[in-house]
Chains A and B, each alone.
Chain A
Amino acid sequence: MSTNHVPQGAGHLRAETATAGAATATAPQPGWSPDQGSKDATFPKALVGVDERLGAAKMMRWGLGKVFPDHWSFLLGEIAMYSMIIALITGTFLTLWFVPSMGHVVYDGSYVPLKGVAMSEAYASTLDISFEVKGGLLIRQLHHWSALFFIVGIAVHAARVFFTGAFRKPREINWVIGVVMSLLACIEGFAGYSLPDDLLSGTGIRAMNGFMMSAPVIGTWMTFFVFGGEFPGESIITRLYIAHVLLIPAILVGLFVAHLILIVLPKHTQYPGPGRTNDNVAGFPVMPVYAAKAGGFFFVVFGITALVSALVQINPVWVFGPYDPTQVTAGSQPDFYMWFSDGALRLLPGWLEFELWGTTWSFNIFLGSLLLLPLVWLILGVYPFVEAWITGDKREHHLLQRPRNAPVRTAVGMAAISMYLVLALACINDILAIKLHLSINDLTILFRVLFFVLPVVVFFVVKRLCLSLQRHDRETVLHGWETGRVVRTEEGRFFEVHAPLDEYTRWSLVEYETPRPLGQLDGAPTDEHGVRRPAGPLTGLRNALSSFYYKDSITAVTPSELAAAHHHGEHEALETPEEAARIDQHGAPVSEAPGDDYYTKGLKAGRHS
């Protein structure tokens, strides 16, 4: 039976004991049984009218029975989803009081330190929400925190999808939708925290003005059109507002619905495990377990957001004061999701600005702002297609991978994250310099170096870690668990007893498959007549990348290897007990681990030569 085509259904896949039990059950259904419906149950009369008009029964039958696999990492996307809903709810609340205007007023509210200060209506109304509207501050903090959780949720969810290979066919389109959503979420967040028109957010808008001006050719025009003229003008808050409350949320919600539909249609991915195949999905049906868990989790996320909003102050705009273009505070940082871009601006050296035919090209700014954002998201968006091309894999994948079983992808992902983190930390270089008593100049130079060096180091370390974990898995399969029980033989030798794995545990460690480099597929590519096909210009690149990805792969243990390992052990035991004890004690020496036979003997060309 090929592993990818285990026939559907639980019954015959289930281990013997369970099937036997289920078949003979005539007594009342046990509590864990998935179907405890009454035999006499009928379709609710109240819904008959709805069904006649909408076919509700068909939809409910399809929807209520849908199965969703259960794993903690699947909750990460739900955090993002629920946080978005919380932000929508609380944001609607805020629109009832917020005045998106840069018109000037003199503050006369209950916050004494700002009494009589001239400010914009946007800032004054934000103060009113914080001080005059009862509970307004709570809603404001809920809104800001949920927005942050939304973006954190997106980030960790995207990392989960990336490192488990969930983006592979047929889910590439949904990955792209998610990538677009994450970019929109960041822009939405930036637009949102710019609205109060306090000193901090005004400084952010001032910087945005500078970014836009740096765009070659169109920068000046674009800036004047977005700001309605010279900085600061009186339009930008109003325009950011309509983008923040209508345009971007509408697109986000639309994409979010599409994202959900594209999760449900091909059914959710699942982690590999005994019984789980590429053709089935095992989990809990919507009615009742998944509905209770997912619905309950919404309240958990909302509840935690409320607790955080109650106890942890965020964006106290009254402390910053109204925006004044002549003022700035030390330690001005954007919200964390914009750190990497602002950090890039701190690291890019001034010599990247140059003049060409009398025109000014500010790549020291353009590169870190207007170019960096689309570039990062473009790379994210095309990754699934690039990896599929490198792998030469056109199959559908519904079983997730453990990150260690895709060592190069995991290492590439971690290297990219390390680059991102360097940029993000560079954005708080002034704070770090103060807290760590370092020179800000040294720190900036260090980050410049780290940006290039750290990803390389991280790549090699993570790749080696993955390979080591894979070898460890192999070792576990071949020699069993270490029991911690040390036995002394009659001759006085000591060895540790290893317990064999049960077949369910073993399956999780051996089910994965390992692609090998494309260049080693069949030798020279030939057409159906055996004539050698000329290699395209990209073939070399593809083969090189494929080799980079898969040349060091470590394959899963096969049954014959396991048999050989057992046989090997017994054989040795007959001839030299010391050898057997040594193997029992330390596991097989690395050079003799069957996985390495592939490479040392070149039998199955697991390694690029």
Chain B
Amino acid sequence: MSTHHDNLPATAEPAEDRFTNPGFPPHTPRRSDVDERAARRASVQVVTLFTISALASIAFLVAYYAIDPELKGSIIGIGEVNLFHVVLGLTMGLSLLGIGLGAVHWAKTLMPDEESVEERHTMASAQEDRDAVGRQLSHGWRSTHLNRRSALLGSAGGALGLFALPLVVPVLAGLGPRPRGELYTTNWEAGKRLMIDPSGAPIRAADVTQGSVFHVMPDGFVGAAAHELDPQDMMTSKAKDQVILVKLDPAKIKSQKQRDWGYDGIVAYSKVCTHVGCPVALYEQQTHHLLCPCHQSTFDMTDDCKVIFGPAKRPLPQLPITVDDEGYIVAVDGFREPIGPSFWERKRPGILMEDEG
């Protein structure tokens, strides 16, 4: 293979010992090319398809005005459907398919079926063109004094590099408020009652039976009180304040901290998954496992909601609770760590709030 050119990769067989291209095989005429009856039949088929399309288009329009949009019906294998929707779709589909199949059938049976051949040309330009462009570029470079006066290039480059900033910076900076303390705080605070969602009723500790599960929101953010809120504040509150409250057999609780932060076996945990923030909504009463339906992170309710399976890393944050004078469950304090998904500054709020001391 000493003859091989830099441009050509070596192949396993020498070029001379190859079969040669036999050229195009002779053309075999189709039935419709040699049999006039077959051609006529094909033509009738094409016309039929186009006719079906036209009729279907008209049927669509008739159905659009004639059929009651609420009309229900049932189709075997599908079940109950909105007939108006189905008829519109079917007629539209037929109208389109009639045209499409007709055109393709026409092309395959009646239009020429002998292939034409075109020659390819390389995409590369001739050397002459490349040389000419080289001279043009050189002319541009020199005739604009760029080769001699470097300040021109530097200042033009600098100006071009900066001109977009006045356009881009206000857009980016205006997109949103920068993060500050929002991720570290919730609406939970000392003495705030835990209210059942959605009714908004307070929970008397004495009434909570073994094994009960409540979905809980802070007082003022659930039930009738929530309607007074700005809707955005309500959504934000739902996204971060949601808590799941469970009464466990105190003997089953493995963590002393969990027992201390709870009340008589009643414990409250943030319901926001520490993975990407879905509500950890599935509680298995037998195993005391909490499962996030989004990515299947599984938390053990009896072991301080530690992760026992799945992609989450951190346990769900616990809300310390106690009871007030009337016997209702209240928060001792807010959450003592950020709830929800991890973020870079999670352990160092100072990075986000340095200017607030």
Residues of B within 8 A of A232 (CB): 235-236, 239
Residue of B32, B95, B176 ringed by the most chain A CB atoms within 10 A: B176
A164 within 8 A of B: no
A36 within 8 A of B: yes
Contact of B236 among A137, A216, A231 (CB under 8 A): A231
B141 within 8 A of A: no
Contact of A227 among B27, B32, B104, B176 (CB under 8 A): B176
A15 in contact with B19 (CB, 8 Å): no
Nearest A residue to B100 by beta-carbon distance? A299
Contacting A at CB under 8 A, from B11-68, are 11-13, 15, 17-27, 29-30, 32-33, 39, 64
Q: How far is the CA of A385 from the CA of B85 in the complex (A)?
A: 49
Contact of B176 among A12, A226, A280, A444 (CB under 8 A): A226
A282 in contact with B27 (CB, 8 Å): no
Stretch at the interface among A146-154, A406-414, A417-425, A555-563: A555-563
Contact of B242 among A209, A303, A325, A346 (CB under 8 A): A325
Nearest A residue to B39 by beta-carbon distance? A31
CB distance from B210 to the nearest CB of A (A): 25
Contacting A at CB under 8 A, from B206-251, are 215, 217, 231-232, 235-236, 238-240, 242
Residues of A within 8 A of B73 (CB): none
Q: How far is the CA of A105 from the CA of B117 in the complex (A)?
A: 63
Q: How far is the CA of A324 from the CA of B69 in the complex (A)?
A: 30
A504 in contact with B117 (CB, 8 Å): no
A207 within 8 A of B: yes
Q: Mark A347-362, 1 if CB is under 8 A from B, else 0.
A: 1111111010011111
Known contacts A292-B106, A393-B9, A515-B9; is-contact A216 B176 (Cβ 8 Å): no
Q: Mark B59-88, 1 if CB is under 8 A from A, else 0.
A: 000001000011000010010001011111
B193 within 8 A of A: no
Stretch at the interface among A252-260, A478-486, A505-513: A505-513
B201 within 8 A of A: no
A224 within 8 A of B: yes
A532 within 8 A of B: no
B128 within 8 A of A: no
A10 in contact with B116 (CB, 8 Å): yes
A206 within 8 A of B: yes
B4 in contact with A429 (CB, 8 Å): no
Known contacts A274-B22, A296-B100, A606-B12; is-contact A353 B313 (Cβ 8 Å): yes
Contact of A288 among B26, B107, B239 (CB under 8 A): B107
A304 within 8 A of B: yes
A398 within 8 A of B: yes
Nearest A residue to B298 by beta-carbon distance? A441
CB distance from A354 to the nearest CB of B (A): 8
Stretch at the interface among B160-168, B259-267, B275-283, B322-330: B275-283
A374 within 8 A of B: no
Q: Mark B95-139, 1 if CB is under 8 A from A, else 0.
A: 111111111101110111111111110110000000000000000
Q: How far is the CA of A311 from the CA of B79 in the complex (A)?
A: 10
A365 in contact with B341 (CB, 8 Å): yes
Q: How far is the CA of A514 from the CA of B11 in the complex (A)?
A: 5
B194 within 8 A of A: no
A300 in contact with B21 (CB, 8 Å): no
Residue of B86, B117, B298, B309 ringed by the most chain A CB atoms within 10 A: B117
Q: How far is the CA of A10 from the CA of B120 in the complex (A)?
A: 13
Known contacts A207-B276, A207-B294, A325-B239; is-contact A444 B13 (Cβ 8 Å): no
CB distance from B173 to the nearest CB of A (A): 8
Q: How far is the CA of A464 from the CA of B271 in the complex (A)?
A: 51
Contacting A at CB under 8 A, from B253-293, are 271, 275-279, 281-282, 293
Residue of B23, B25, B122 ringed by the most chain A CB atoms within 10 A: B23
Nearest A residue to B198 by beta-carbon distance? A326
Nearest A residue to B75 by beta-carbon distance? A311
CB distance from B170 to the nearest CB of A (A): 13
Residues of A within 8 A of B232 (CB): 233-234
Contacting B at CB under 8 A, from A273-301, are 274-285, 288-289, 292-293, 295-301
Contacting B at CB under 8 A, from A415-443, are 429-430, 440-441
A134 in contact with B64 (CB, 8 Å): yes
Q: How far is the CA of A309 from the CA of B89 in the complex (A)?
A: 7
A279 in contact with B120 (CB, 8 Å): yes
Nearest B residue to A232 by beta-carbon distance? B235
A284 in contact with B342 (CB, 8 Å): no
B355 within 8 A of A: no
B100 in contact with A30 (CB, 8 Å): no
A225 in contact with B242 (CB, 8 Å): no
B182 in contact with A137 (CB, 8 Å): no
CB distance from A362 to the nearest CB of B (A): 4
B348 within 8 A of A: yes
Contact of B103 among A70, A299, A557 (CB under 8 A): A299
B146 within 8 A of A: no
A266 within 8 A of B: yes
B69 in contact with A311 (CB, 8 Å): no
A365 in contact with B183 (CB, 8 Å): no
Contacting A at CB under 8 A, from B306-357, are 307, 309-314, 340-348, 351-352
A556 in contact with B13 (CB, 8 Å): yes
A72 within 8 A of B: no
Contact of A225 among B12, B111, B175, B342 (CB under 8 A): B175
CB distance from A423 to the nearest CB of B (A): 13
B172 within 8 A of A: yes
B8 within 8 A of A: yes
B295 in contact with A346 (CB, 8 Å): yes
Residue of A66, A228, A301, A362 ringed by the most chain B CB atoms within 10 A: A362
Stretch at the interface among A328-336, A375-383, A582-590: A328-336
Nearest B residue to A266 by beta-carbon distance? B123
Q: How far is the CA of A65 from the CA of B119 in the complex (A)?
A: 12
CB distance from A58 to the nearest CB of B (A): 17
A394 within 8 A of B: yes
Q: How far is the CA of A283 from the CA of B82 in the complex (A)?
A: 46
A231 in contact with B277 (CB, 8 Å): yes
Contact of B117 among A8, A302, A398 (CB under 8 A): A8
CB distance from B117 to the nearest CB of A (A): 4
B85 in contact with A137 (CB, 8 Å): yes
B22 in contact with A207 (CB, 8 Å): no
A245 within 8 A of B: no
Residues of A within 8 A of B279 (CB): 325-328
B155 within 8 A of A: no
Q: How far is the CA of A32 from the CA of B78 in the complex (A)?
A: 46
Nearest A residue to B106 by beta-carbon distance? A292
A83 within 8 A of B: no
Q: How far is the CA of A31 from the CA of B235 in the complex (A)?
A: 70
Q: How far is the CA of A516 from the CA of B69 in the complex (A)?
A: 67
A338 within 8 A of B: no
Q: How far is the CA of A293 from the CA of B240 in the complex (A)?
A: 56
Q: How far is the CA of A228 from the CA of B282 in the complex (A)?
A: 30
Contact of A18 among B24, B96, B344 (CB under 8 A): B24
Q: How far is the CA of A224 from the CA of B176 in the complex (A)?
A: 6
Nearest A residue to B227 by beta-carbon distance? A118
Residues of A within 8 A of B294 (CB): 203, 207, 328, 332
A206 in contact with B277 (CB, 8 Å): yes
A282 in contact with B115 (CB, 8 Å): yes
Residues of A within 8 A of B118 (CB): 65-67, 267, 280-281
Q: How far is the CA of A350 from the CA of B26 in the complex (A)?
A: 66
Residues of B within 8 A of A306 (CB): 89-90, 92-93, 96
The 4 closest A-B pairs by CB, nearest first: A310-B89, A210-B276, A296-B103, A299-B100
Given A30-B29, A310-B86: 12 more A-B contacts, CB < 8 Å: A14-B23, A34-B115, A206-B276, A214-B276, A219-B343, A283-B115, A292-B104, A293-B108, A303-B96, A332-B293, A510-B18, A510-B19
Interface residues of B (CB under 8 A from A): 1-2, 4, 7-13, 15, 17-27, 29-30, 32-33, 39, 64, 69-70, 75, 78, 82, 84-90, 92-104, 106-108, 110-120, 122-123, 172, 175-179, 182-183, 197, 215, 217, 231-232, 235-236, 238-240, 242, 271, 275-279, 281-282, 293-298, 307, 309-314, 340-348, 351-352
